[in-house]
Amino acid sequence: MEFNEVQAVNRAYELLSEEEACKGQAHHLRIIKDKLEKETLTLSIIGQFKRGKSTLANYILGDEILPVGIVPITSAVTRVYYGDKSAEVHFFNGDVKPIEFENLSEYISEQQNNNNKLGVSSVVIKTPSKFLKNGIEFVDTPGVGSFHKNNTEVAYQYMKESDGVIFLLSVDSPINEIEIEFLKATKEYASKFYFAVNKSDLVSEVELAQYIGYCQGVLQQIMGYDSQPVKIFPVSAKTGEGIKELTTSVSKDLKKNARAILEHSSILKLRDIIDEANDQLRFYWKAMNMEYKDLDVAFSSIDEYIDEIKNEANKQDSNFEIGFNEIKIALSEKVQEFFGIKYVYEIEESSPFKRTMTKSEFQEKVNNLLEDLRNTLDSILLYREENAYIVVRRIANINLLSNRLREIKRQINEQLEKGK
């Protein structure tokens, strides 16, 4: 049978959404499915800190909306969509706060939001820029290898969501190891690359040509000699030089090849999701095979914690939506701590003006959540399960799922090989 990207994604989604252990991966794949259905492309500006990513993004959008020159917190991206001008800050606990543009840096700069103590997960901006029409999600990233040592992991996390990438270098520093490593990793997830060299205003034409020639060689080696010749756009986000050429080229390409880019990038991402799911299954397998005495300890710890949460929940008097999310986040952490497995909850976002949950609804939801967690842990970890049939069936299901996922991955690799 012909390989079909959408079918591969749908099939994997069906398989993953039936397995408790793979809820996180199913959720991730749901986002990819949605993007395929709606033909939304994620285009990220990626590069090291201070290359001028935010300045360039502002120029492309035709509006100075993103703060520049700040030391950004490394755990948040800014997503920009087409629409009436507005800005919102999204927090890890699901809280969403509308804000004024001039206050953005309070949330995304390291100086003002040290170590992300405010728990910002992303900033969402809307602006009526022509560049964003046709369903583009434009992402400004804080930059890899910049401030915190641990930021690289976070930077990689966003990079994984990109379908297309504007990879930004700048003439004031030669392409370095961090950028090279980051580009190599990005290639595993994103389908399309546009290269630009910023700050062309700082050097003479001769120096610029030399710099570009040098980068061209390095980039071609990374992208592969069998791929298309690497084209580098020289730009100045300060003077605007070269930006029209870049944006016209990107816009045209994204419009013309949206479908192909999305499909290709979906299977790149699916391959990674399958690896993650198989890792998850291995963790569950390990937890299932814990000694009874260790399982006893883990279960009595979680039971104690569940009682603690019930007490805490009784004290909550407002903001129930957010309180409910915070309980979910805390439970995930404890399950990880006690059982060594990732137990994922979906965090529903909630704007302040949409909060309607009452205290009794909240308490009922919390009770259901806790009961459900306890039952699910029992059944998936086969705790004190004496019915041999149930045990055998659970083990067989895990193996079967794992094999089916591997088969999809094999087909993807075959397809990617062919496409080269």
Ligand X SMILES: Nc1nc2c(ncn2[C@@H]2O[C@H](COP(=O)(O)OP(=O)(O)O)[C@@H](O)[C@H]2O)c(=O)[nH]1
User: Could you list the residues that contact ligand X (CB under 6 A)?
Assistant: 49-55, 68-69, 143, 198-199, 201-202, 236-238
Which single residue brings its beta carbon nearest to Mg ion? 54
Q: Which CB atom, from 168 or from 405, has the smaller least distance to ligand X?
A: 168
35 binding partner (options ligand X, Mg ion, none; Cβ < 5 to 8 Å by kind): none
- When CB distances are held under 5 to 8 angstroms depending on the partner's kind, the choice from ligand X, Mg ion, none that residue 202 binds is ligand X
- For ligand X, give the closer residue by CB, 241 or 296: 241
Q: Is 105 in the site for Mg ion (CB under 5 A)?
A: no
- What minimum distance in Å lies between the beta carbon of 49 and Mg ion? 7
Task: Give the helix ranges, DSSP H, for 66-145.
Answer: 104-108
Shortest Å, Cβ 72 to Mg ion: 5
Task: Give me the residue whose beta carbon is nearest to ligand X.
Answer: 52
Residue 51 binding result from Mg ion, ligand X, none, given CB thresholds of 5 to 8 Å by partner type: ligand X
Q: Taking a C-beta distance cutoff of 8 angstroms, is the pair 144, 155 a contact?
A: yes
Nearer to ligand X, 57 or 370 (CB): 57
Least separation in angstroms between residue 204's CB and ligand X is 14
- CB atoms under 10 Å from CB of 320, counted, come to 22
- Work out what residue 208 binds among Mg ion, ligand X, none; the CB cut-off runs from 5 to 8 Å by kind: none
Q: Which residues contact 354 (CB under 8 A, 6 or more apart)?
A: none
DSSP 37-68: HHT-EEEEEE-BTTSSHHHHHHHHHTS--S--
Q: How far is the CB of 200 from ligand X (least distance, A)?
A: 7
Minimum CB distance to ligand X smaller for 172 or for 372: 172
Question: In whole angstroms, how close is the CB of 417 to ligand X at the nearest point?
Answer: 35
Which single residue is written with the structure tokens 């700048």? 170
Look at strands 136-140 and 77-82 and give their pairing.
antiparallel
Stated length of the chain: 420
> Which 35-74 positions form the footprint of Mg ion (CB under 5 A)?
53-54
CB of 373 to ligand X, least distance (A): 41
Report d(CA 265, CA 120) in Å as an integer: 27
Cα dihedral sign for 115, 119, 122, 123? negative
Q: Give 385: exposed, middle or buried? Use CB within 10 Å, 0-12, 13-18, 19+.
A: middle
Which of the listed partners (ligand X, Mg ion, none) does 94 bind, with a CB threshold of 5 to 8 Å by partner kind? none
DSSP-based helix, strand, coil % in the chain, nearest 5: 60, 15, 30
Binding site for Mg ion (CB under 5 A): 53-54
